[in-house]
């Protein structure tokens, strides 16, 4: 990207210290980089971000790391050493945003807690991400997305009744917390324009997933504690017809829960071998009636779908404007002309790996191009450049490198 295009990005001129590992924190840094910030990823010497050891591997590079750390500069510094800590203090004093996702207390032990850093840089927007947050009885506990998925009530509602819930194959807690952290950081940066002061943003994976329930919490609270959502398998009990169906040669989803769409859908089923009167059954023409007769409806729709190939059903439903989709495999997603037209895969030239293709972020903005072309850094790749920019001379840098305070792979 040329300098003018970079300047057009909304966060151009903002410096972010990305003191993070695994997924949630790195994702925040990646989003801020895509929006134009200069992002410096700080890793411990030796093994670096634990994400570097996570599959999927291409050669000795982790795809997990490459994806979440694209567009960043790499600094590897031992912050348990006083010289490393001094370097970090200088770096943070030059920054606008600090992002970390270590166990609460870990950064304070390193002299990198919010209170200490804000003393010399009161404008700093400091974002902590942890499993449970920095307050409350569980704040000291470590955790992963999976823990938050289980604790939040989400896991208990998915899967077939009576079976152990399935493992979601995306880390919902990390990704959603990251998305909310980006929103909060940008708002705090805007707020700083008025107040001149930064602030501490304290995000928890567990809080995020509790906040993401769009109906389960209210189902309990608004029913006065009488209704507790349970596993319902492949469809929604309070939104009929809305679910996953098995066709002759694959699976598809149908969203005919809005009254008009339902009427078109039921008429189509009747006209194509369904029971006589199904389309005209006025008891099913409103949501309450459909929800009350959900199991009867499923007894008609499931075999109707099962007798037909996916493509035939999609064609019929597209013809009557009822939202539907094949349940796609990843190879089908990447081959989808829609995904290609939206530029949802970004191609980068890696110095060791050659061309690599990774998922893009979903930002589409009329005034700028947020696709990141710069690959994730090697461990400590920009050590010398960053240390020099902070005023360390060549002899000091060489000494820190020799002593392992600055480390490059
Ligand atoms: C991820 C964790 C469980 C990992 O736990 P741990 O491996 O025990 O890490 P800790 O946070 O306790 O910190 C490890 C130690 O590294 C030290 N440390 C860190 N950076 C440095 C540098 N640069 N130099 C020297 N030492 C360092 C830090 O001070 C700690 O030292 P000591 O204090 O001396 O030990 C925890 O960090 C955590 O709960 N994070 C918040 C929630 C989160 O983001 N979870 C992962 C999401 S990813 C996910 O869920 C998914 O992929 O799926």
Kindly compute the dihedral angle of the four CA atoms of residues 42, 44, 46, 50, in this order, to the nearest 10 degrees. Answer: -90
Burial pattern 52-70, b for ≥16 Cβ within 10 A else e, equals: beeeeeeeebbbbbbbbbb
Give the distance between the most distant pair of CA atoms in the chain.
Answer: 88
Model ipTM value: 0.97
Q: Is the CATH code 3.30.360.10 the one for domain 3-211+341-402?
A: no
Tokens 């000091």 found at: 396
138 has catalytic annotation = no
pLDDT in tens, the chain (409 residues): 677 777 899 999 999 999 999 999 999 999 999 999 999 999 999 999 999 999 999 999 999 999 999 999 999 999 999 999 999 999 999 999 999 999 999 999 999 999 999 999 999 999 999 999 999 999 999 999 999 999 999 999 999 999 999 998 999 999 999 999 999 999 999 999 999 999 999 999 999 999 999 999 999 999 999 999 999 899 998 899 999 999 999 999 999 999 999 999 999 999 999 999 999 999 999 999 999 999 999 999 999 999 999 999 999 999 999 999 999 999 999 999 999 999 999 999 999 999 999 999 999 999 999 999 999 999 999 999 999 999 999 999 999 999 999 999 8
SS (H, E, C) 337-368: HHHHHCCCEEEEEECCCEEEEEECCCCCECCE
Residues in the chain: 409
Distance 130 CA to ligand 1 centre (A): 10
Domain definitions of the chain by residue range: 3-211+341-402, 242-246+251-326
Q: Which of 280, 357, 246, 266 is closest to 320 using CA atoms? A: 266
Distance 224 CA to ligand 1 centre (A): 40
| Ligand 1 binding residues, C-beta < 6 A | 22-24, 42, 44, 77-80, 101-103, 106, 109-110, 129-131, 142-145, 171, 174
The answer for 18, left when phi > 0, alpha when psi is -120 to 50, beta otherwise, is beta
Contacts of 102 (CB under 8 A, 6+ apart): 19, 21, 130
Distance 99 CA to ligand 1 centre (A): 13
Contacts of 24 (CB under 8 A, 6+ apart): 101, 129, 145, 173, 174, 175, 177, 178, 181, 205
Q: Distance between the two ends of the chain, CA-based, in angstroms?
A: 27
Q: Which residues pair with 44 in a beta bridge?
A: none
């Amino acid at each position: 990207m040329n300098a003018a295009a970079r300047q057009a990005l909304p966060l151009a001129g903002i410096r972010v210290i990305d003191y993070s590992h695994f997924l949630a924190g790195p994702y925040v840094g990646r989003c801020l980089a895509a929006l134009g910030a200069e992002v410096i990823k700080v890793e411990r010497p030796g093994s670096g971000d634990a994400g570097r050891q996570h599959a999927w591997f291409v050669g000795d590079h982790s795809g997990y790391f490459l994806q979440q750390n694209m567009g960043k500069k790499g600094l590897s510094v031992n912050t348990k050493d006083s010289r490393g800590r001094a370097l970090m203090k200088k770096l943070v004093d030059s920054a606008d945003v600090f992002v970390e996702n270590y166990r609460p207390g870990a950064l304070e032990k390193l002299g990198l807690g919010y209170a200490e850093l804000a003393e010399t840089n009161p404008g700093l927007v400091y974002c902590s991400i942890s499993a449970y947050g920095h307050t409350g009885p569980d704040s000291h506990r470590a955790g992963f997305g999976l823990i938050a998925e289980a604790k939040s009530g989400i896991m208990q509602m998915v899967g077939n009744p009576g079976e152990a819930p399935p493992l979601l194959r995306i880390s919902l807690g990390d990704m959603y917390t990251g998305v909310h952290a980006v929103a909060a950081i940008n708002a705090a940066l805007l707020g700083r324009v008025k107040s001149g002061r930064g602030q501490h943003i304290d995000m928890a994976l567990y809080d995020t997933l509790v906040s993401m329930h769009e109906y389960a919490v209210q189902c309990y609270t608004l029913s006065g504690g009488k209704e507790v959502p349970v596993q319902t398998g492949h469809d929604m009990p309070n939104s009929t017809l809305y679910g996953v169906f098995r066709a002759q040669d694959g699976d598809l989803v149908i969203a005919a829960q809005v009254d008009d769409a339902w009427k078109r859908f039921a008429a189509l089923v009747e006209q194509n071998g369904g029971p006589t009167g199904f389309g005209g059954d006025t008891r099913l023409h409103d949501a309450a009636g459909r929800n009350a007769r959900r199991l009867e409806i499923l007894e008609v729709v499931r075999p109707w779908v099962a007798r037909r190939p996916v493509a035939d059903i999609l064609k019929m439903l597209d013809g009557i404007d009822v939202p539907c989709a094949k349940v796609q495999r990843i190879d089908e997603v990447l081959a989808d002309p829609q995904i290609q037209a939206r530029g949802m895969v970004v191609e980068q030239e890696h110095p060791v790996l050659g061309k690599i293709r990774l998922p893009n972020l979903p930002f589409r903005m009329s005034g700028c191009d947020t696709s990141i072309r710069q690959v994730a850094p090697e461990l400590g790749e920009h050590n010398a450049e960053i240390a020099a920019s902070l005023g360390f001379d060549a002899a000091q840098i060489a000494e820190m490198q020799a002593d392992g305070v600055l480390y490059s792979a």
